[in-house]
Chains A and B, each alone.
Chain A
Amino acid sequence: MPSLLFEQGAPGRGGDFVRGAGKPSQYLDAAALRADLPLPDLTELDVARHFTELSHRNFSVDTNFYPLGSCTMKYNPKLNEAVSAFAGFTDLHPYAPDDGAQGAIRLLAHMERTLASLFGMDAFSLMPAAGAHGEITAMLMAKKYFKDRGEHERLTCIVPDTAHGTNPASAAMVGYNVVSIPSTARGRTDLSALRAKLDGSIAVCMMTNPNTLGLFEDEIVEMTASVHDAGGLMYYDGANANAIVGITRPGDMGFDLMHLNLHKTFSVPHGGGGPGSGPVGANARLSPYLPSPMPARDASGAYVWDEQRPKSIGMVRAFPAHFLAIVRAYAYIIVHGADGLRANSQLAVLNANYLRAKVKKFLTVPYDDHCRHEFVCSAEQLKKETGVRALDLAKGLLDAGVHAPTMYWPHVVPECLMIEPTETENRHTLDAFVETLRELVVYAHEDPAAVQQRPLHTPVRRVDEAQVGRLANKGIGLRWSPPSSDGNA
């Protein structure tokens, strides 16, 4: 393990970076100043070696097949990076006057119109910073909508048992009571169970379609109609939108509100866990509640920020957008056009079904129906036969240089692995993955203990999560502390 930055360097090493300007005490009274800030002083070469070494201890899309279900780890074209680094964008201050930011607002306005058309919404806000941020934005909109209608008793949010954890967490953050509904034997949300929960307390029903089992909710029109009949709103979680772009639209399914993850569907790189971008769409009934400001055009045709939106919930972050993330997604959209985006979604579905058809020969695929962009398989039977679990298969894949699929989620499938290959992987990679997984299953029968030892070849092997959790609960082990310190570490 490379030493920490804080264990390296020597005081006084490193440069000034700017022309010398003396000491802090020349500018402020000592009472306002800190005694010291003990950061490490390193040379640029120290930094280069350190972070290059760290980078070698990561799997990434550019280095490894990364079939992490629900995360859409597609290739991130480098065009995106180049255009987001243009000085005309990076040096543009968020409070720049609109007439000096016409290109930026125009880009956002085009993006907004394009997303509205692609997903059948009246309008989109590009302000939310990530998917979960989009979810809470939409929940705040729903809350304000019902308040304006005087329907204060609507405080229930329905989520399927296969929903992303962010759905119930976002609903709870605005004070909604969360009610879960089960899935059917076909892996779809149970329409009759949904209808049984519908009464005057329903505010929102949050759905993902295709759902997190990778299956299209084929009764979606009946579901949205039922929720609407009960006076509730339908929310589309766009985490799985990569299966539907250019093919079908949430607006046409009857959804009132939705979010997208531009870092999934539209190839903004995931960055090791962000930044993302989570635009929120709304139909005509809800769009007045979208965050403010919104890009617009004035009477002269100039692009402006429209702040005159009296029903808007307001701002959900300090500035109007994760702008440089949106530039990346915009580049991706304009090199594809609607037909190219549709083709990508079709190929994502093709790749997932190809894997499903091959994997089901040696692992259980509990819902063996044509899937969309991802599917779920289960190691439950393998565990009964050999003791080898989904976790062990996942760790075994790491040894073969493949990132593990999403594990143990959704909770409705025991010992599950959720596999999403995306459209950018070629058939050779998919075949090699199937072969690696098949060999692991064969090996599990021959020598289960050996599989349970995996991984053997990663930078570290299985880590002790229990101990770190116990210490972390007391605030210990969450940072480096100087050796002389009396107990922060």
Chain B
Amino acid sequence: MYTPHTPQDIAAMLEVIGAPSLDALSDPPAGLKIKGRLDVAPALPEADAYAHIRAMADENSAARMTSFLGAGAYRHYQPPAVPYFAFRSEFLTAYTPYQAEASQGSLQAIFEWQTYVCLLTGMDVSNASVYDGSTALVEAVIMAAQATGRRRVAISRGVHPAYRRVLATYAEGIGVEISEIPLDEAGQTKIPASLDADIAAAIVQSPNFFGAIDHVDQAASAAHATGALAVHVSAEALSLAVLKSPRELGADIAVGDAQSFGLPVGYGGPYVGFVATTKEHVRRLPGRLVGETHDVDGRKAYVLTLQGREQHIRRELASSNICTNQALCALIATIYLATVGRKGLASIACANMANARALARAIEAVPGFGLAYRAPYFNEFVVGTPVPAAELCAQLEKRSILAGMPLSRFYPELTRQLLVCATELTTQSQIDEFARALAQEGTHAVAAV
């Protein structure tokens, strides 16, 4: 379909090679050649393929619904400038910038991304990116275990449950045990007065999965008292625009997902994970890292550095196995941050807080519904529901509303709690529609009981 070879080309090239046929060149040893038909659909002309996939996209009715779903994936405004520049061929179709002379564009963009992450988190150094927020958390745990020589971490139950599941998947492999820290009645982490002496890191997400701005500072104090590190997790990076930075709160490592910076929710990816830390731990950072230098003519230049930590040099002794990361997603986030700037980012963050509070007021006005926790929040919070939240979501879906995340999906004991989110894209008419639907479904449910 996209290959240039004419039959004459093929014949001439085979002659240069001295091979009788394409099959002779490419066939495997006897017995390994595929026999019979594969279960692969016949080729479609490009126009038909476009229509076929378009039909699949159109089938996804949930993409068109009024949505109050957040829970680690946030629908934000994407300025058209962002994809317009990020998807330029020169960025899109380049590979990892191994050849500095041929990759200054990608390298400078990564350096700028590293700087943005440092400004947002207050940290000294950031890597080029990792796969997503959950794998960033895993990398932070590995860093903390290496830094302390300890093999157990304490993680808040307010950290995104999917992130914790991913950590659990890795835990045995990387040789780390996990203890959970419970939440209190305000929806915040109940930091113990002292942590066990064998803890490598205390890990708290803020805002946490319940939307609550959490006690990272208390966790950091407790961690530092026993020689452990404090890890700050952000699942909604936009909150970093206004909240105290992870460094100000005492964190040694800041990780999270920057999907909110210009990346679509896209049914789960690709997103972009970040890992930032203090100078002290720079050599423990996983994956690519770009540094500033100069060329033989004295011109400023950027280059991949500290490659001695990485798998292609150090093999089984590498600080991580990561190779391909999320360069294009980091570029999208960089262009997003450049486009909106300090002023724009602050106004977007304020619009999120304003709309979330308008949503809260509307919900609290519905009999039987109210905020389940009193902790301060950014753009997400938990609603107490008079009926099981999962049933409520199913009812509202029939009205083309995605009501949010029933917490019972991850916290089976919390059947009547619904996590809802408002962003700058949420409108007052959507909020009113939601409140009306809640009122009607809540009443039906109460009547049915």
Interface residues of A in 1-50 (CB under 8 A from B): 1-2, 4-6, 9, 11-24, 26-29, 32-34, 37-42, 44, 46-48, 50
Q: Which of A318-337 contact B (CB under 8 A)?
A: 318-325, 327, 330-331, 333-337
Complexed CA–CA distance, A463 and B296 (Å): 6
Instruction: Kindly list chain A residues whose C-beta atoms are within 8 Å of the C-beta of B311.
Output: 132, 165-166, 168-169
Number of interface residues of B (CB under 8 A): 204
Task: Sample 7 A-B pairs with CB under 8 A, ordered by A number.
Answer: A1-B301, A136-B321, A327-B53, A334-B43, A354-B17, A464-B293, A475-B279
Given contacts A95-B73, A169-B318, A462-B295, contact A350 B267 (CB under 8 A): no
Q: Is B269's CB under 8 angstroms from A117's CB?
A: no
Number of interchain pairs (Cβ within 8 Å): 707
Whether B320 lies near A353 (C-beta < 8 A) is no
Chain B min CB distance to A191 (Å): 13
A-side contacts of B163, CB under 8 Å:
318
B235-262: contact bitstring with A at CB < 8 Å (1 yes, 0 no)? 0000011111100100000000100000
> Are A101 and B62 CB-contacts (below 8 A) given A50-B338, A335-B49?
yes
B123 to chain A, nearest CB (A): 9
The answer to whether A475 touches B56 (Cβ under 8 A) is no
Q: Which of A51-59, A193-201, A280-288, A379-387 contacts B (4 or more CB under 8 A)?
A: A51-59
Instruction: Verify if A172 is at the interface (C-beta below 8 Å from B).
Output: yes
Contact present for B347 and A21 (CB under 8 Å):
yes
Q: Other CB < 8 Å A-B pairs besides A247-B27, A270-B95, 14 of them?
A: A17-B344, A44-B339, A54-B106, A62-B92, A63-B93, A93-B402, A129-B269, A132-B311, A136-B170, A165-B323, A246-B38, A273-B97, A334-B41, A357-B16
Instruction: Report the Cα distance A252→B59, complex, angstroms.
Output: 36
Residue of A nearest to B103 (CB): A58
Q: Across the interface, do B320 and A173 meet the contact criterion of CB distance under 8 Å?
A: yes
- A370 vs B337: C-alpha distance in the bound complex, in angstroms? 50
Task: Determine which of A130, A333, A463 lies in contact with B101 in the assembled complex, contact meaning CB atoms within 8 Å.
Answer: A463
Q: A174-B173, A347-B5 are in contact. Are A272 and B335 (CB under 8 A)?
A: no
Do B320 and A18 touch across chains, with their CB atoms under 8 A apart?
Answer: no
Contact between chains at B213 and A28 (CB < 8 Å): yes
Query: Do residues A57 and B267 form an inter-chain contact, with CB atoms below 8 A?
Result: no
Q: How far is the CB of A230 from chain B (nearest CB, A)?
A: 21
How distant is the Cα of A143 from the Cα of B173 in the complex, in angstroms?
A: 8
Flag if B53 contacts A275 (CB, 8 Å).
no
Q: Pick the contact of A102: B34, B60, B265, B335 (CB < 8 A).
A: B60
> In the bound complex, do residue A6 and residue B115 qualify as a contact, i.e. CB atoms below 8 Å apart?
yes
Query: In the complex the two chains form, what is the Cα distance from A398 to B353 in whole Å?
Result: 50
Interface residues in A449-489 by Cβ distance below 8 A to B read: 455, 458-465, 467-469, 471-480, 488
In the bound complex, CA of A175 to CA of B54 (Å): 45
Q: What residues of chain B lie closer than 8 Å to A335, measured between beta carbons? A: 1, 43-46, 49
A225 at the interface (CB under 8 A from B): no
Instruction: Say yes or no for B169: interface residue by CB 8 A criterion.
Output: yes
Partner of A478, one of B85, B267, B290: B290
The 0/1 profile, CB within 8 Å of B marked 1, for residues 122-145 of chain A is 000000011111011001100100
- Bound CA–CA A24/B43 (angstroms): 55
Contact check, B43 vs A337: say whether CB atoms are below 8 A apart: yes
A274-B328 in contact (CB<8A) = yes
> Is A132 a contact partner of B324 (Cβ separation < 8 A)?
yes
